[in-house]
Amino acid sequence: MYRSDIELELKSIEPRLLLVPRKVVDKVVLHQRKLPAILGLISGQFSNVDSVWTDFETLNAIAQEIEFELEIGSLPFGRILLLAKVESEMSGKFNTEQRNILYWRRIFHAEVKLKFFELKEQGLLSSTKIENKIKTIGRTVFSEALMVLEQEHKIFPEQDITDKYISFAACFAELYRFSENLLTNYFPSIKDYEALLLIIKDDVSEDVIFQETRLTGTQNPHPTPETHAEESSEYFKRLSEQAEKESLLNNATESAILWTQANRVAPAELSPDTLEKAHKEIRKLVKRLQSALNFNSNDFQNWESALLPLLDKADQGSFPVEARLLTELQSACEDYEQEIYRIDILGWAMSLGKKSMKRPLRFQRLIKIHQRLKEASLNAITTRLAFADRKKLETLLQLVWKQNEKKLRNEIRPIIENNLQLVGLKGEGAFGEIARRRLVEEFLDLIIEQGYLNYSELRDMISRNHLKLEDVRDASSFFKGDALLTLDENLSVQLDGIYRRSDFYLRWLEKSTALNFGTATGRTLTKFLTLPFGGSFLLIESADLINDKISGERIPDLTRTLAFIALGIFFFGIINNTSFRTFVLEVLLYFWKTAKFIFYKIPSALLTWNPFLLIWKSLPVQVIYSLILKPLVFTEAIALWLPKSYPYHVGEIVLFIGFTLLLNSRPGRLLSEFAISGYLNPTPIM
């Protein structure tokens, strides 16, 4: 095989190295993680991995899957290093020197990992030792670094703590040597880089590896101070301009975050002023919060000191939890400052102008503010702050959240109570009063929890409660609507914005069934006649229609009659006899457990049974699966919708051949992988 000069030089540094396209590295990583390739393509969980240590057995096992010609006979036994080529990623933008630095960087990272792997195999990197190192670094600091690395797909959730530490150490050493300016992005809480480097050097001499992996003639990768200063100054200017624009738009949160980002690259003489501008935006946000939440001036300083520490983390990563918390608080201010209206042209026209076309939705504003505060309180729990700062922030948010909820309940409760009393749900006696209060609080709980209530939920709450609606007394109450419809109409007006009135067809349905459930005679007929025998009739008719469609024959009249009587008696027993209903439920539960055992537990056990897995991975089964079963599934799924215009299933045969070629040919697989990964995979940062 032809080998380029760069590959020969890399192999002189690491003889076990093999230069491959990035997709090969990706597939080997997925194989090690025991994930299907398509899952990795869709999730993009391996797009930042530049190298991977594997072995001959693994490569030999997945040689067909990785879609790359490997000279299996020339590969060394034992460990093999797969290094992703950089030429295809450079697109002509980099010169030879920059290409060599990228290769140096990748092989350095791989060699640092290799030294740690060897220590682990020798038993010199025990879990106790790793725990001591994490304790020295700081658990909070280490956890935050792991979170960033996991977001960048450089470590994976299923790895144990030792493998995560190895990846952490290799990434830190790589950034320290090759991209020192990115250390604050990946490890924002680490202040003493030299101290962490000494912890790594206790196990691996990364400085020695740095020199051993250097390519011939390659200079140190650190940028010159002049170039770095020019780039930082330009970046600072862009961030400052954007922050000022956001401030003019009254977007204090985004402006404060941008000023914080600008401060990280600001010239020394401008840093204090830049930081003060970020703090000024937070003070603007606190002032708006004071108006919205009505806390006193003594709490102003507490809020300011609680929100300022969030800025140190809010500019890291893609919309972190600290930024989300600040955004929720600002949204609560906007909900308070901006009146919410509903434009009801139809209602205005039908009322001949008596109803207002533009109606304010006051309660919806209160609900939205409450939801913002709730979300901010939940976000506060996971913020990356010091323990004391986080507890202070949580306490403030919990306090205003609960106060706002109490205020909301106190405003809505009298409206509910008055309307319940108006329709006759008064609650007589001690038990009646308890039931009434329970109904009111359940009403409030549902509104607080989901932000709205509709007719169906109101109907279900009343049906569960011990309070009962009044019966239909006369023809007037029947045609105008029963107590439930009256309550529905009143709440839709008085709680406009958080209660949705029933649709017209539900109102018609309620009116048409009022005699069945709203009178003593109607309830008796419904319970003993309509439900059991009406249900039996509907079931028999449905079965008859289905049988007619399938076989073209109707069920005989005698069979229909006997089945109607038998099912009617069966439903009668279920509805009106507790013992019979319990017996039926026990029988159904027995059949359910039996079916679950046969159709779920046995197949689940079979799929994890080693002999079955060996059979599944065997060549004959894979051939049948790839060339017959998989194309057949796609063929039948499409063929069901095709017109039956060709004899002998010509259309199905053409589809089957097409799917067989498409799903199993190399061009088809390459095209699908390229399309999915190109569209969904994130762009690597480093």
126 vs 518 pLDDT, higher one: 126
β-bridge mates for residue 453, sequence order: 499
Strands 79-84 and 341-343: unpaired
- For residues 422 and 534, membership in a common domain is answered with no
- Beta-carbon contacts of 681 under 8 Å, excluding residues fewer than 6 positions away, are 41, 44, 47
- For residues 262 and 192, membership in a common domain is answered with no
Euclidean distance between CA atoms 176 and 195, whole angstroms: 12
Check residue 236 and give its pLDDT: 83
- Beta-carbon contacts of 581 under 8 Å, excluding residues fewer than 6 positions away, are 573, 574, 575
Nearest to 164 by CA among 202, 191, 125, 190: 125
Strand, coil or helix: 294: coil
Q: Tell me the pLDDT tens digit for each residue of 610-622.
A: 888 788 778 888 8
Q: What is the pLDDT of the chain when averaged over all its residues? A: 82
Give how many domains the chain has, as a whole number: 6
Euclidean distance between CA atoms 221 and 212, whole angstroms: 15
- For residues 301 and 250, membership in a common domain is answered with yes
246 vs 351 pLDDT, higher one: 246
Check residue 358 and give its pLDDT: 80
Q: Tell me the pLDDT tens digit for each residue of 655-666.
A: 888 888 887 777
Q: What's the whole-number mean pLDDT along residues 348-372?
A: 82
- For residues 453 and 511, membership in a common domain is answered with yes
Q: Return the structure tokens found at 579.
A: 């013992």
Check residue 436 and give its pLDDT: 86
- The range of the structural domain enclosing residue 191 comes to 95-225
Helix 429-450 to helix 387-422 angle (10° resolution) is 130
- For residues 110 and 81, membership in a common domain is answered with no
4 vs 456 pLDDT, higher one: 456
Percent of the chain with pLDDT over 90: 27
Helices (H) and strands (E) in the chain — how many of each?
37, 7
- For residues 42 and 64, membership in a common domain is answered with yes
Domain boundary among 193, 225, 257: 225
Is residue 332, in this structure, part of any structural domain at all?
yes
Q: Quick check: 379 and 334 in contact, CB under 8 A?
A: no
Q: Return the structure tokens found at 295.
A: 């806390």
Is residue 260, in this structure, part of any structural domain at all?
yes
Is residue 661, in this structure, part of any structural domain at all?
yes
Check residue 479 and give its pLDDT: 59
Check residue 680 and give its pLDDT: 41
- For residues 420 and 492, membership in a common domain is answered with yes
Q: What's the whole-number mean pLDDT along residues 380-390?
A: 87
Domain boundary among 63, 92, 121: 92
Check residue 72 and give its pLDDT: 56
Q: Tell me the pLDDT tens digit for each residue of 386-418.
A: 888 889 999 999 999 999 999 999 999 999 999
Q: What's the whole-number mean pLDDT along residues 583-600?
A: 93
DSSP 665: S
Check residue 683 and give its pLDDT: 42
Q: Return the structure tokens found at 56.
A: 């001959």
Residues in the chain: 686
Check residue 679 and give its pLDDT: 43
Check residue 67 and give its pLDDT: 62
Q: Which of 64-78, 488-502, 589-603 has the highest mean pLDDT?
A: 589-603
Q: What's the whole-number mean pLDDT along residues 455-470?
A: 82
Where does the pLDDT of residue 587 fall: very low under 50, low under 70, confident under 90, or very high at 90 and above?
very high
Is residue 601, in this structure, part of any structural domain at all?
no
- Beta-carbon contacts of 250 under 8 Å, excluding residues fewer than 6 positions away, are none
- For residues 191 and 132, membership in a common domain is answered with yes
Give the alpha-carbon dihedral of 56, 60, 64, 68, to 10 degrees. Answer: 30
Check residue 225 and give its pLDDT: 44
What is the residue type of 531?
Answer: L
Check residue 442 and give its pLDDT: 92
Domain boundary among 194, 210, 225: 225
Check residue 645 and give its pLDDT: 58
- For residues 569 and 618, membership in a common domain is answered with no
Is residue 347, in this structure, part of any structural domain at all?
no
Q: Return the structure tokens found at 162.
A: 């030792």
Q: Tell me the pLDDT tens digit for each residue of 485-544.
A: 888 888 888 888 888 888 877 777 777 676 677 677 788 888 888 889 999 999 999 988
Is residue 179, in this structure, part of any structural domain at all?
yes
- For residues 482 and 529, membership in a common domain is answered with no
Q: What's the whole-number mean pLDDT along residues 452-480?
A: 76
Phi, psi torsion values for 496, nearest 5 degrees: -60, 130
Between CA 453 and CA 498, with CA 363 as vertex, the angle to 5 degrees is: 15
- For residues 214 and 271, membership in a common domain is answered with no
62 vs 573 pLDDT, higher one: 573
- Lowest-pLDDT range of 29-33, 89-93, 213-217, 600-604: 89-93
41 vs 278 pLDDT, higher one: 278
State yes or no: pLDDT of 73 exceeds 80. Answer: no
User: How far apart, in Å, do the first and last CA atoms of the chain sit?
Assistant: 31
- 670-676: list long-range contacts, CB under 8 Å, 24+ apart: 670/67, 673/23, 673/37, 673/41, 676/38, 676/41, 676/42
State yes or no: pLDDT of 36 exceeds 80. Answer: no
Euclidean distance between CA atoms 441 and 143, whole angstroms: 42
Is residue 586, in this structure, part of any structural domain at all?
no
Strand, coil or helix: 519: coil
Is residue 600, in this structure, part of any structural domain at all?
no
**pTM value?**
0.54
Euclidean distance between CA atoms 99 and 85, whole angstroms: 10
- For residues 16 and 53, membership in a common domain is answered with yes
